Chain A
Amino acid sequence: MNPATSPTPPPPIQNHQSPIQNSPAPRSPLRPAVVELRTPEGILFTLEPAGPMARLLALLIDYAAVSVILQTLNIVLLMAKIIHADFARGLAIWLQFAAPIAYSLACEWFWRGQTFGKRLFRLRVLDARGLRLQFTQVVIRNLLRPLDLLPLFYLTGGLTAWLSPKGQRLGDFAAGTMVIREPVLFQPDLDQVSPGRFNSLRAHPHLAARLRQQVSPELAATALQALLRREGLDPAARVRLFAELAAVFRAKVALPEADLAGLPDEQLVRNVVDVLYRPRPDRDAPA
């Protein structure tokens, strides 16, 4: 943790179009490429720079939040005016100036790189090297905001972010930060693959073993993802997809037609995935 004791060099940063094999969705030219960071331990993790539209919407939300804060404070100032009108006016001028700055600084520091708007759109300011965000970085990226605003509507910042591989506006560049889109994090629920249904394949341990030998991790992952995402598929596409997957599995291993007669393609794929991802040696073993 201490620089004197752990002089770790910064990890090399590479930009790739998409390191995630199962999500080859085409990227918009407005959206920066995914940034990959390799730790000294050789672990690769990816950061997805936020797109300009999400950042713009987050900014609008933040403007609205600051307006609400100012309106609320103005009510307090109305009361202060009764006591000392000049003091209240002076305070109002200060608030107009300081509230947006204080809002950004406080939110980004105490919420670890997020403001109301960024939270809403799952954006976060991060150190561009993946390290801990420092307070000086938060200050600098906000100090340079007026420059990014020039000449109008964040034109300079928008152009810089568009040209930057990490989507950095000038303030981010100077501060060594970037704004990323946070993925929705949840662990996969494998129960929905085979929620307690009878799996006829388990009656044939040799088939299960052969499936595990013949099916590549990529094919297995494709089948798993097809099952996990099946509710989002168009009905016709769903039928077609599972028919294709079932055909691939049938081609790899000769499945006993007697046991599988009348079994829909989707259920076959479900059974195969269940066998592949949830091996149960005690149950797969011959009685």
Chain B
Amino acid sequence: MIIDLQRFITEERPCWDELDAILSRLGKDPAARLSLEQVERLHYLYQRVSAGLAKLTTFASEPELRRYLESLVARAYGEIHETRRRARRFALHRWFLADLPQSFRRHLRAFLLAVAVTFGGALFGGGAVAWDPGAKAVLLPFSHLQGDPAERVQQEEEEGAARHLDGRKASFASYLMTHNTRVSFFSLALGMSWGVGTLVLLFYNGVILGAVGVDYLAAGQARFLFGWLLPHGAVEIPAFLIAGQAGLVLAGALVGWGRRFTLRQRLRAVAGDVVNLAAGAALLLVWAGFVESFLSQYHEPVVPYAAKIGVGVVELFLLAAFLWKSGAGATPAVAQGKEDRP
């Protein structure tokens, strides 16, 4: 039997056009919602076009028309069989105060692993410099950290307010923000190497941190060190750790030890949290960039070390409290069906 194509097209075209119009409307507005009647109509049209496609495939071979119907069915299929809720209109405050800290807490073990690896790196770097001060030249790739800490402290304190950053603080802050965000995102992306790349990067960050810390502590410059690092480091270092946490979450989904879900399901399950953590890390790095450029680079007598250390401690406390408590009472996005959980 050969289908009467002309009649088939004439009879079915209104349904195709209607389905196409509904799908186009849904496509244009990702947050659009359909009423029950509209959903029923969409489902009817989907089934009718599907039946038409089946008929066409069985009784006639008209590739162009078939492709057209396949395309319609494919688009409708995506709407009908989507098991995740349509994206809500994005609300920054809800994301910041609830979604981000909840994502952080959901993957606390990954964060603790990131902390442990960084700490391990710091022990290694610090130990290497304490045992062999010559290791500084190898471990620290920054020229301003190669010299004697005491000399640097004296020089920077003598410069006072006439710092070399005058007239380029904003560009320096932008440089720090973008550079650090790039490194953080790269650390996250390296999660796709089953986490090996992320762990290496976290360890390396720890090595630099440990080497600098021990170098300055050994030189008796503890106040300068904390006054210099804490204001921005209290936010910047956790941001790196959170980016590393996101990378390890991705790696955990890839490895999937002891989980009965498929790789695709595992990756989909963590996607929302990975994005939240990445965005959170970037946001923290923007703040850290500002602080590093506008505050951290100024030392006594311009800004007392105690004040700088105080700022750092307060930031660290607030950040910890935020990550620990914020959004604790809110319904998690996962429970609302916003994200796909296996």
Within 8 Å by CB of A278, from B4, B63, B70, B86, lies B4
With A134-B271, A276-B2 in contact, is A23–B63 under 8 Å at CB? yes
A89 touches B271 (CB 8 A): no
* CA–CA, A143 and B272, complex, Å: 13
Complex Cα distance, B169 from A84, in Å, reads 12
Q: How far is the CB of B138 from chain A (nearest CB, A)?
A: 24
In this assembly, does A279 line the interface, its C-beta being within 8 Å of a C-beta of chain B? yes
B-contact bits for A186-223, CB 8 A (1 contact / 0 none): 11101000000000000000000000100101101100
Q: Does A269 contact B (CB under 8 A)?
A: no
Question: Does B322 have its Cβ within 8 Å of any Cβ on chain A?
Answer: no
List the B side residues contacting A250 at CB < 8 Å.
Answer: none
Q: Of B6, B39, B337, which one neighbours A4 at CB under 8 angstroms?
A: B337
- Which residues of chain B have C-beta atoms less than 8 A from A277's C-beta? 2-6, 60
Within 8 Å by CB of A143, from B39, B185, B267, lies B185
Q: Which of B6, B50, B66 contacts A190 (CB 8 A)?
A: B6
Which residues of A sit under 8 angstroms from B331, Cβ to Cβ?
none
Q: For chain A, which range describes its interface: under 10, 10 to 19, 20 to 34, or 35 or more residues?
A: 35 or more
A65 proximal to B (CB < 8 A)? no
A39-B50, A86-B171, A187-B64 known; A146+B185 contact, CB < 8 A = yes
Of A3, A40, A47, A215, most B-chain CB atoms within 10 Å: A3
Q: Which of A68-76, A90-98, A240-248, A257-265 lies at the interface with chain B?
A: A90-98
Contact A217 B174 (CB under 8 A): no
Q: How large is the interface on B (under 10, 10 to 19, 20 to 34, 35 or more residues)?
A: 35 or more
In Å, the complex CA distance between A47 and B168 comes to: 52
Is there an interface contact between B175 and A93, defined as CB atoms closer than 8 Å? yes
Q: In chain A, residues 97-127, which have Cβ atoms closer than 8 Å to a Cβ of chain B?
A: 97-98, 109-110, 112, 126-127
Q: Which of A49-57, A170-178, A230-238 contacts B (4 or more CB under 8 A)?
A: A170-178
Name the residue on A nearest B262 (C-beta): A10
A136 at the interface (CB under 8 A from B): yes
Q: Does A1 contact B (CB under 8 A)?
A: yes
Mark B178-193 against chain A: 1 for CB-CB distance below 8 A, else 0.
Answer: 1001100110111010
Contact with B178, one of A93, A140, A146 (Cβ below 8 angstroms): A93
Query: Counting CB contacts under 8 A, is A159 at the interface?
Result: no
Cβ contacts under 8 Å, A44 to chain B: 57
A183 touches B67 (CB 8 A): yes
CB-defined interface of B47-90 with A at 8 Å, one 1/0 digit per residue? 10010011001011111111110110110011111111111000
What's the Cα separation between A217 and B60 when bound, in Å? 6
A97-B182, A131-B82, A185-B71 known; A39+B337 contact, CB < 8 A: no
Other A-B pairs, 5, CB within 8 Å; known A2-B85, A176-B271, A217-B61 = A4-B337, A21-B61, A187-B68, A212-B2, A278-B4
